[in-house]
Amino acid sequence: MPVRVNSRDKVANAPVKLWPGKLQDCRQPFIGGSFFDHEGQPYCETHYHLKRGSLCAGCHKPISGRCVTAMFRKFHPEHFVCAFCLKQLNKGTFKEQSDKPYCHMCFEKLFG
């Protein structure tokens, strides 16, 4: 969850702590607003989700809400698609080839 920060004194509202001024990983200056706390360190939204493994493997944006986990990766449901025809897939209805998901029809056409 994002933590709101008072940019005037750079003190996080919850839990209260002094802030050194840079976000972890991307090292962007902390100007105020909000950041994501992960193990006591501040992260921008993208790096927070990268650390937690919750970026979509299809669009590389943070996942909140439902997701599909397949091939040891997470996807927004609408981004879990056949690598050939781009039809949306369901977790149990795909074949894998070279670390890419395929619908059964495309898999048979290409590799069958």
Q: Count structural domains, the chain.
A: 2
pLDDT at 31: 62
Distance CA 26, CA 43 (A): 8
Is 10 in the same domain as 47? yes
Asked if residue 58 belongs to a domain, the reply is no
Asked if residue 88 belongs to a domain, the reply is yes
Residue range(s) defining the domain that contains residue 74: 68-111
Q: How many CB atoms lie within 10 A of CB 67?
A: 17
**Triad 1, 69, 37: Cα angle to 5°:** 15
Contact between 81 and 58 under an 8 Å Cβ cutoff? The reply is yes
**Percentage of residues of the chain with pLDDT beyond 70:** 70
pLDDT at 11: 38
Strand ranges (E), 13-109: 33-38, 41-43, 68-70, 73-75, 95-97, 100-102
Rg (CA), the chain: 19
| pLDDT tens digits for range 38-84 | 777 777 777 777 888 889 999 999 998 899 999 999 999 999 999 99
Q: What is the mean pLDDT of residues 93-101?
A: 95
Asked if residue 63 belongs to a domain, the reply is no
Asked if residue 98 belongs to a domain, the reply is yes
pLDDT above 90 for 4: no
The H-assigned helical ranges of the chain are 45-52, 104-111
Q: Which two tokens stand for residue 6?
A: 């008072």
Residue 72 sits in a domain whose CATH number is 2.10.110.10
